[in-house]
Structure formats: structure tokens, C-alpha cells
Chain A
Amino acid sequence: MSVIIAFSMDEALRALAAHPDALILSGGTDLLVEINEGHRRLGSSSADIATSPTVLAVDRLSELRSWTIDLERSQVHIGAGVTWSELVSEPLAGLIPALAEASRTVGSPQIRNAGTLGGNLGTCSPAGDGLPVLAALEAVVHLRSATHQRDLPVAEFMVGVKRTARLPGELITGVTLPIINGWQGYSKVGVRNAMVIATASTALVADRTKRQIRVALGSVGPTVLRCSEAETMLSAAVDWENGGVGSDQLREFGGLVAAASRPIDDHRSSAAYRRHSVGVMAQRLARRAFPLESGPPGQGKSSGI
């Protein structure tokens, strides 16, 4: 095994050009677990070097470790090497609260100090905690190689179970997220109250400017899923002016979200429970976004809770 430690973006991209299939190491919270558990082999003897992958460490690149806020364009750029701990902290937490909530559910404080948003994208596990938020916010992923750079909507970036659209030789440099006018939140079910992999998760964004509800689900499909039918239904059903929605509409919304999930049975949960739980989480998130009880639009408001 050889390890290349990059100290600048140029160095990193040159190394990637020379070793397009290099394993990219940042916080190591996914990669080192895979290596330690033997799912990924790095040869240790001279005989293995020819066949074993190169590791490229990018954790020293300041471009990746920084973030910028662009209030004029109402967006935030977050470098791929920004850690969960930074995302939980102000000012990012105040600008993208759903991402802060998702970040708080990742591992333990030690893991949150090491793990990065870029790593979450690179691994692209269906259970990646940051991913439903990025999907619901319609974030853009930035990729660079020695020869080009390109931007991809996160929905196009995530292709399948631990599969992305990143090409050999490309490095995830960061994501751009909109600062939205409206409520956003994240919920995650696990069997423990913290430090647990998502059995199922849901992110909801209520974009008041676009008058659009957007919902994305984790751990209930091969990759993060959006729920277009449910989004359309609820976007039309809520009272955008007063922040209200009817309980019947919420139930219908929850049913549509559950129907949009494509979960499997595994040792962590049954598919039936995963489906059920995203429906419940979606209703509760929507109620947080629209706290007032109200009838369908045009029928006037019913009593509050």
C-alpha cells in the first residue's frame, strides 16, 4: 500500500491523475472501518504493492476544510473536508439547521470531529445522514480533476448503494446549498438514542419562496429518495401564509411518503417498519413546519391545536 499525502489542491489533483482509482482519505470514519473489518484490503508486503490501491489523504487541503457564506446569492459553499462538528456549530447550524440536526446524529463526538460531509457523499451509503438533507435542499456537488471541473445536482450524483457519478480522477471538492426562506428539519430513527446508524431517516424543507415542500428519505432505498407525489400534494395543501395544515392532509402526506419508500428487510429492521417510520417522521416534520391546524386552502381556518 502506498499513501500520498497532499498538501495542496494541485498536488491532490496531480496524484489523482496518476492514480485515478486512489482511495480518498479524509476523516477516515468510513474507509478505516472498511479496512479494519477486512472489507477492503490494503496489502502490507512488497508483493502486494503492485495490486493494492493507493491511498490519497486530502485532510490537509485548506480549500476542502473551509466554507463560505454568500448572502447575496443566498447560498453556502461547504468544502468537502468540513466536519460534522463544524456543521453542528454556528453560523452554519443557523443557516442550514436541517444539516446541523443530521450532523448531530452522526456517531459520537470523536467521530463528528473526524468525519466529513465530503466523505458522506463519497461513500454514498443509503444511510448517510447528510445525504437526505442535501437532497431535500437540492444541493449541488462540485467535482474537480486535473483536467476539468463540473457541478452535479446531488440527485444525479447519488447513483445507487455506495455508487456515485464521481469519475476516476475526480475529487469531491464541496457542495453548494441554498439558504432557504422557510422551515427545514431532519429526523432519524435508530434503535439507540444517539450514536446509531439510521434505520430510516427523513429530511423536509418547506421553501416559502418557491412555495414548495421537498422531502428526501434515507435508508429506505438503494440511495436517498425524493417523494415527488407527496411533495406536490402537500405543497398545495398547506396554508403558506399562516403556517397551517390539516391533520387529514398530513395523514395523506405521510401515506404518500411511505408509499414512495422502497425499503428492504435486513438485520437492522423490517421493510414494513422502515416504510411506516418514514411516513410518521414526514408527518411530524410537516407539523413542525406548519404548526397550526387548518383546513384545506379556500375553506378557511379551523381551530388550532
Chain B
Amino acid sequence: MTITETPATPLLPSPPTTADGLREGVIGTSPVRPDGIAKVQGSFEFSSDIFAEGALWGATLRSPHPHARILSVDLSGAWKINGVEAVITAEDVPGVLTYGLITHDQPVFARDIVRYVGEPVAAVAADHPETCRRALEAIVVTYEVLTPLLDAEAAIDGSSVPIHPDGNLIRHQRILCGDPEATGPVVVEGTYEIGMQDQAFLGLEAALAVPDSGGKGVELHVATQWLHEDRGQIAACLDLPVEQVRLVLGGVGGAFGAREDISLQVHCCLLALRLGKPVRMAYNRAESFLGHVHRHPARIWMRHHATAEGELVKIEARFVLDGGAYASTSSAVLINAVTHTQGPYRCPNAIVDGYAVRTNHLPCGAMRGFGVVQACFAHESQMDKLAQAAGLDPVEIRLINAMRTGDLLITGQPVESVAPVERCIRETAALAMPTEPIGGSDGDVMCLPGGAGRTADVSHIRRGVGWGVSIKNLMYSEGFDDYSTARCRMVNGVVTLKFATAEVGQGFVTIAAQIARTILGVDEVLLDRIDTGIGSAGSTSASRQTWMSGGAVDAACRQVRERFFEHVAAAYGLDPLRLGIDGTDVVDTMGDLRIPVTEAAVGVEFDETVEYRHRPTEDLDENGQGNCHVAFAFVAHRAVVDVDPDLGLVKVVQVATAQDVGRALNPLSVIGQIEGGIAQGLGLAVMEEIIQIDGRIRNASFTDYLLPTMLDMPPVLVALVEEPDPQAPLGAKGVGEPPCISVTPAVVAAIRDALRQVDGVGRDLHRVPVRPADIAL
């Protein structure tokens, strides 16, 4: 069904007004999302559900070795299997052999060397997934196994043999700020480690490629975060002009950064073009762990210098991020990490060195928080140490140092965004602490650490409280020309929006219609198909789409409204500047005219397309100085955690948060992002980690890669801090990433607090996820 143009999606009819007097469906209300009911009922078409008559299945052969030379590839066994229609390798790539988001260093198929377990070597297309599986088994690849590079430090110091022509150091960045000799009477230091987290979206990688009948082009239906970036990389590999590669967004079941990079896109198109038939590909969970990039594991050393009163004087830091086998966005993740060293605090002096390196581990790239998650776990752990050393409590130390609008970052960049750090902390502190005693009031074992395992009794448990506060940049950085395109058409009073903004579950489709209803005074807004039939919207990443695509939709709607006012003004002999929208009416603000928009718009058509750009940013210089970021958002988290010190098991009892959102365009969506982000940050704090031993992943399943369930998720208390940002087109800041960042250190701080009650000392817990043995042994 999906091959044909899908009709524009109508939105659900809504009651006329909300409790606070707003017209339902406009900005500030929380209308039902258009994809919501279908997703809940199971009828939403995810990309893995898309099919076409006569489509073949594709599958990928992957390297079993972290580092090996390919001596030979024998495809003959696969060709002998009935039902196999194509078997392809690097030899069959007509265009450039590599792709990548920043540097094109990752092969479509490995040709001579494989650099991680899971690297694609060949692909097949056949009549059935089971035929594909047997064909893959029949391909004989002879490898000469090489010593893998698994130690990130060895990649920095030059002692290791380069595992890639681009070398083992992906990027080094230094930041020097102020007086390097500055110090203070209070000095604390620590080395922190962050494990490799998986985005673990529930909708697995899947696509359908349909070749044009002439064989000259291809249409790809795919779950992705950025249609146009994919298109550019795919077209280069296929050696086709970009116009001949058309992308359509397949239903996306979550992304969190894991769909920024190419996974099966090129393979699927290659097979379809080779055969002149549609080809579907779909990863299973185990393959998904190999098929997308992950959060960078990091080792971070920090030394904080402060006055006796706890005011920050200087931060020294060294970051090592393991980028895995290919560069992906490692260099940008590194910049985000080092430029957020100070956290949401003023600090006049800093010396920071950051390294992103190449190893034979799984490739790492974008994941929600993008480098700031790693920095935040380190700086917040340090702030707690500093508080202890200075005799302050965790809230005081953070209030003393809280950043304000106009403060300078260690990059020399002034924070021009609204920066309500102090307010976030105070509003979080004002949220009620849990009133239930340890173990709950009705003796349900699920309320205790260990839960269903019945490992503990109430007397074994200590309750701790911990804090985390963070700063997160919004949008892309370092001079990137970032824009988003939107088109607004109003025909007979019915508005249709078109954009290429990837809806990955974050709810942009809801927001877009809210913007149009608000600006144009209409109730009915249609959304056109999301595809490359319009200019780029940029990536659904970096907490940027409400700001960027929201800005583009807003601007396109405003242009249509101008044309519409000109039309009404001409019809009634009025000055268009006197016209305005009030509810669903167009009104003369200085006279008596008031007619419904639907009536005034009969018989006319307006059509405007706008590209929205944020202000330009700069590269960092060699000392890490420069206005490299666009804007910032802030958040505070307070976690209450019950801990079983002897067994090392934990139960997060409550998370309270106040988040700087600028303006909540859709409060329910904002709360959804906050709760989801907290679940993801909680996962990193206490359970989520990809385990690689000798370069091989050991837990590529949801049996062993544990995600928090409903039973691990605590109640979340939320205060939205709404101070509209004057730089944001709608006053709204991105809200996607901040929730997952400082909740991780808050949970760990709460565990440390609980353990301190046992013996007055506690545990360092310098690593996430915190494992039971880290607490108990």
C-alpha cells in the first residue's frame, strides 16, 4: 500500500477549548498526536511493516572478527541456493566505496580489512529471509586474523599501528581558558568511566527500496533521522545524481541518535537496483546492536579547584572517548564533551584536553546527550566531592556556582540563552520528597531493591538523595550551516504542511499542526508525506526540530497569513496591517470586521516555502576558544534511591526535575520527553551497558542488555521552567536531550549518599553503570 503516495494525514477533531481557555489544538495545549492511537492499537505502519508486491528480502554478511584481513571471498555457495537472486560485495558498489557523517571513512562493504565484529562484508537478496540466512552461511570468507586495537590510550600515544588509513586519533581538542596557574584552597579530583550505552529503540532498522522502472533511480522507504543527509550519502555510493534517489520516511520507532548514520540504506538500494525489483531489509535485535553506532565509552579525569567558600576557580580535565572502528560523529561528540566540562557553573580558568580515538570496538556516534552525558557524570560527581571538601551541601555548592545569562563558557562564548540554573535547582528542591517509607506502606516486595527476587527486608535498606544539574547545547555547532525547510499551503481555508522533518516519535507532527492552527486560525491542518520532495529539514537530533523545523513552519505559516491578510484587506478595503487572527476569525484590530477564516479564505490559495536558519556559529581555535554553540538549555534532577548495601541492588524511588523549556508548546509532549529521558538516564546509571570482551559483543539481546521496565521506573515529579527564549522562534527550547543527562549522576550520587550512611565513608562509584559488585564488594 505504501508504494503509492499516502494521502495526507488528517488530524483528529478536537473539542473547542481547554480548561485554561485556549482553543484546543493551538500552541500551549496538548492535542492527541496523530500517530498516537494507531501506535497504541498496533496498527501504525513502522518501516518494518512496509511491503511491496514481489519484494525480495535482503540480508547482510558481517565480520566475525574485530580486526582481520580478508584474503578471499567465495560467493559460489550462495549462488547455488534456489531463491537467491543477488549476492554483492564491495566490487559491486558503483560509486564511492565509503560513507560517513563527517568524514567518509566507513566502507559500504569491507574490501580488504574488517575493523569491528559486525562490519558488513557482503549482502544477498532472496525470496525469503530463511533463504537469505542460508545464503549468508554459504559464503566463504577467508580471513587472516589481526591483533585488534582495544586500548584507547594506545591509540593516542602513537604506540599502536594505524588500523585505518586515517590513523587512530580521530580528533584532539584542547581548551585553554584564563590563568593556567590559578588554584584555590579546595582541590578535588577523580577519574570517571562511562560504559557503552545502546539507544535501544524498539523499532528495528528496516527499509524497502523500490527501483524506478527505467532502472535509473530508486525510492527508499526508511526509518531515519535525516532524509536528505542519507540521500546524499546513498547517491554518492550508488553513483546517482541526488534527484534520482528519493527517500520517504517509513514509520520510525524511536531513534535517539542511532539512525543518524547509514546502516542498511545503501545495501538495500544496491540490491534493488541490481535486480530491478523491490527489496526489503530488516534487522533483528542482535543485528541491530551491530548495525548502528552507540554512545561513546569514555574515561574522564577532572581536577576542580575552588575557594574555601566553594566557588570554582579552575577545572583541569582530560577526556578519552573510544570512537570504535569508524569516525561517525566522534569529532563532534568530543567537542560537545570538552566544551561542557564546566557544567552549568561559572568557571574562569580551565585546561582541558580531549581525545576521540579509533579502536576495533563497535563504532560510536550520536546518542541522546551527545558527549554531554559523559562530561556531566564527571563534573557532577566532582561537584559533590567539592561540596564535601568545602563543607557544603550538594544544593549549596550548585547554587553558589550556578551559571547566569551573560556568563562566559570556558570557550570564551557568552551564554546568551535564558539560563535559569538557579531557578531549576530551587524549583526541583521545592518538589515534595517521597512520603512512602522504605519498602512502601503495604509491604509489596516490588517496592524494595531486588524487587521480585525478594532479596531484602526493610532493615537492610538505606535511602539516599542525590543531585545532578546540567547544561546542554541545542542545535549543531562549529559553523555548521544548519537550516530547515517547510511549506505551507492554504486552499479554501484548509492548511496543508509539508516538510522533511523526521518524525521519530518525538511528536513534531503534533507541534507543526499546533503552530499552523495558532498562526492561521484554522482547525483543520493536513500533513503531507514526509519525504525528500521538499528541501532538507536537517536532522531530528541535537534537540533541534522544535526550534528549527518549528521555526520553518512558523515562518511559512506567517507568510501565508500575510498573503491572506492582503487578500482580505483588498476585499474589504482595509489596511492589511490592521488585520489579525483571533481564535478562528480574521479581525480588523481597529474596526468591526470579524469573519471566520474559513469563510474569508474561500476560493483563494496561498503557497509559501521557507528556509529557517539559526544564527551562525564558529569553529574553535587551537586553544578551544570560539562561539561554537547556538544556544543552551538547563535542567536539575534530584533522585531518591533505596540501596541494599550488602547485595548492591538499588530501587530508584523518585526523580524530581525542573527543566528549562523556554515555552511548553505541547505540555504533554514535554512531560513525555522528560519521563522518557529520565528512564534512559536511569538505565545508564544502573543497568544499561554493551559488554565487549576481546572486541566481541556479549550481550546483543534484551535478555542481557537490560533496559529499565515499568517496575524500575520511579514516579517523576516535574516543574516546567518557562522563560521564553528570545532567540528561539517560538520561545521554545529543545527538550529532548536534557532530561537524560543529569539524572544519571543524580542517581549515582543518591547511591553514594545511601552508602555513606552505612559506614560514614561510602563508595567512590566512579563508573556507570553502577554494578551490584561495585556497591557490595
Contacts and interface: CB of A to CB of B under 8 A. Distances in A.
A binds B: yes
Contacts of B451: 192-194
B687 interface: yes
A188 B460 CA distance: 16
A180 B62 CA distance: 55
B776 A44 contact: no
A277 B647 contact: yes
A121 B354 CA distance: 53
B772 A187 contact: no
A197 B772 CA distance: 14
B772 A193 contact: no
Interface string A90-114: 0000000000010011000000000
Nearest to B650: A193
A167 B134 CA distance: 32
Interface string B698-709: 110101101011
A280 B446 contact: no
Interface in B684-710: 686-687, 691, 693, 698-699, 701, 703-704, 706, 708-709
Contact of B454 (A185, A198, A266): A185
B449 interface: yes
B72 interface: no
Contacts of A36: 284
B649 A268 contact: no
A91 B704 CA distance: 33
A149 interface: no
B703 A197 contact: yes
B577 interface: no
Given A267-B704, A272-B773, A273-B648, A284 B457 contact: yes
A189 B452 contact: no
Chain B binding surface SS class? loop
Contacts of B449: 193
Contact of B453 (A33, A188, A272, A287): A188
Nearest to A47: B82
A223 interface: no
B773 A189 contact: no
Given A273-B773, A280-B647, A196 B455 contact: no
Nearest to B82: A45
A153 interface: no
A277 B450 CA distance: 12
Contacts, number: 107
B567 interface: no
Contacts of B712: 192-194
A71 B134 CA distance: 55
Interface string B738-777: 0000000000000000000000000000000001110011
Interface string B708-729: 1101100000000000000000
B704 A273 contact: no
Contacts of A195: 709, 711
Contacts of A201: 453
A19 interface: no
B450 A270 contact: no
A189 B647 contact: yes
B544 interface: no
A276 B699 contact: no
Q: Size range of the interface on B?
A: 35 or more
Contacts of B699: 267
B647 A193 contact: no
A101 B454 contact: yes
A185 B445 CA distance: 13
Interface in B627-647: 646-647
Interface in B647-704: 647-649, 651, 686-687, 691, 693, 698-699, 701, 703-704
A26 B646 CA distance: 38
B161 interface: no
A89 interface: no
A193 B452 contact: yes
B593 interface: no
B672 to A, nearest CB: 23
A194 B133 CA distance: 34
Nearest to A42: B130
Contacts of A277: 647, 772, 776
Interface string A30-48: 0001001110000011000
A199 interface: yes
Contacts of A67: none
A104 B356 CA distance: 45
A171 interface: no
A138 B565 CA distance: 86
Given A268-B704, A280-B647, A284-B456, A193 B450 contact: yes
A276 B455 contact: no
B687 A192 contact: yes
A264 B693 CA distance: 15
Contacts of A194: 446, 451-452, 709, 711-712
A37 B287 CA distance: 10
A192 B449 CA distance: 9
B693 A267 contact: yes
Interface string A170-198: 00000000000000011111111111111
Interface of B: 82, 128, 130, 133-134, 284, 286, 446, 449-457, 460, 646-649, 651, 686-687, 691, 693, 698-699, 701, 703-704, 706, 708-709, 711-712, 771-773, 776-777
> Which 4 A-B residue pairs are closest in the complex by CB-CB distance?
A193-B451, A273-B773, A267-B698, A188-B453
25 contacts: A45-B130, A104-B452, A187-B454, A188-B455, A189-B453, A189-B649, A191-B686, A191-B706, A192-B709, A193-B452, A193-B651, A194-B446, A194-B451, A194-B712, A198-B453, A269-B772, A269-B773, A270-B773, A270-B777, A273-B777, A276-B773, A277-B647, A277-B772, A280-B455, A280-B647
Given A45-B82, A45-B134, A267-B691, 16 more contacts: A187-B453, A187-B454, A187-B455, A189-B453, A189-B649, A192-B451, A192-B711, A193-B449, A193-B451, A194-B451, A196-B453, A270-B773, A273-B771, A277-B772, A287-B457, A288-B457
